[in-house]
Amino acid sequence: MIRLLHTADWHLGKRLKQQSLLEEQQLFLEWLLGCCVEKEIDYILMAGDLFDVANPPQDAEQMYYSFLARLGKETNTKIIITGGNHDSIGAVNGIRPLAAAWDVILVGEPFPEDPSQECFPLYNRSGEMEAVVAATPFLREKDFRLPEGFEGDIEQRLTEAHRVHYRKLADHCNEQFPNATQIGMGHLFADKSLSSDSERQVGTLNGLPLDIFPESFAYVALGHIHKPQSPQENRIIYSGSPNMLSFSETEYAKRVVLLEVSATGISSIESVPIPVFRKLYDWTGTFQEIQEKIDQFENPEGLVPWIKINVREEKIQGNEYANLLEMIQIAQQSWNGSAIILDHSLQFTGNHPQAGMHQAAVPADSVTPELIFDSTFHRDHFEHIEILKEIFDGLIEEIQMNEGGQY
């Protein structure tokens, strides 16, 4: 029997509203080391988005390398890491010369012409092979291998490319490891899955159909969607991200998935909850309702909590944005660093000509790209606003990373 731990979307080095997540990411990796020892994990399957950007910051790389070194020294756990849409091939494959010594398997790019480079046998602690993993990273358009003469739009091409790729891997596993339980890995947006606002859209607006995965795959470990979920119960599963990467992720618990696998199949699948290292709060209400939340707030245990305030009023009464800034300033002073309001928005819900004119009252030094976006693309009046906001936030993140955290 082999014990596998499925995780994904670490996004090491990510910043949320210019604040580094390295503290909670380090705490997660410490917890993961302890989990591997306590639960006698044989293999970690990390299904993409190891880093948040293609050229990760040095402190994120150092944290990652330290984790791998400790995993090899302090546990009996091996790890298989595949690249995601946020990762560069070089960032994932960078330590390949050391990988064998650390019991690390790295697959930063797919090998459409050589399935053996993505298929790895898994052994129990007695040295017996019981499973094989088809470790597929994120497929980019340059990786598409389509049947000769295939025609179709981008969505059909994307679907067929994934189906062809996984079929080749399954055929290879059937031929080379006929008595092993097959486990698939992928980093993609699958049909019947629900995203948060912290994933960048990949491929098309529709999810890839679940039948791209061959029936021989007893389990498919997916990455890309940050909310834990199962597009196909007990078989096709997103572990979700281990840390909260946006304020939209405050409503659900984080987890890793523990599998017990033998040559005869999967005997158990269990969600293992991850502790909350930093609480995020997403408050929406009128000025009065938000003020009540501020007055009643009690600090939780753990790292300094971060708060997002969304004021929603029906009508413009005066200089509401200045009032919002004053409310935030007073709250921050009273909390004295024990909690931080990291983000805020102001929206008028009434259907009247002045609904978008509050921007004029905003002090010049307080205008941000996000505020301009919110006032320009009023949520009630633009179709696909969430997708536009997701793309916009991704661009802002890239600019911040390239310019040292500044706009």
Residue 383's pLDDT is: 52
Scan for tokens 């040095």, then name that residue. 58
Query: For the segment 198-257, what is each residue's pLDDT rounded down to a tens digit?
Result: 555 554 446 899 999 999 999 999 999 999 999 999 999 999 999 999 998 988 899 999
Query: For the segment 165-179, what is each residue's pLDDT rounded down to a tens digit?
Result: 999 999 999 999 999
Give the lowest-confidence range in 50-54, 124-128, 293-297, 362-366. 362-366
DSSP 330-372: HHHHHHTTSSEEEEEEEEE-S-STTTT-GGGGS-GGG--HHHH
Looking at residues 265-294, what average pLDDT do you find?
96
Instruction: List the chain domain ranges.
Output: 2-273, 280-376
Residue 291's pLDDT is: 96
DSSP 61-124: HHHHHHHHHHHHHH-S-EEEEE--TT--HHHHHTTHHHHTTTTEEEE-S--TT-GGGTEEEEE-
User: Between 31 and 197, whose confidence is greater?
Assistant: 31
CATH architecture classification, 2-273: 4-Layer Sandwich (3.60)
Residue 96's pLDDT is: 83
Residue 382's pLDDT is: 52
Rounded Cα distance between 130 and 404, Å, is: 47
Residue 376's pLDDT is: 60
Is pLDDT of 119 > 80? yes
Query: For the segment 304-329, what is each residue's pLDDT rounded down to a tens digit?
Result: 999 999 999 887 777 888 889 999 99
Mean residue pLDDT of the chain comes to 86
Work out the pLDDT band at 366, boundaries 50, 70, 90: very low
Is pLDDT of 367 > 90? no
Helix axes of 385-402 and 369-376: crossing angle, nearest 10 degrees:
160
| Amino acid code (one letter) for 155 | E
Q: Are 376 and 368 in contact (CB under 8 A)?
A: no
- Say what percent of the chain tops pLDDT 90: 66
Residue 361's pLDDT is: 39
Is pLDDT of 121 > 80? yes
**Residue 96 CB neighbours (<10 A):** 12
Work out the pLDDT band at 54, boundaries 50, 70, 90: very high
Query: For the segment 373-401, what is each residue's pLDDT rounded down to a tens digit?
Result: 665 654 445 555 555 666 676 676 666 55
User: Between 23 and 350, whose confidence is greater?
Assistant: 23
Is pLDDT of 75 > 70? yes
Residue 380's pLDDT is: 47
Work out the pLDDT band at 404, boundaries 50, 70, 90: very low
User: Between 402 and 170, whose confidence is greater?
Assistant: 170
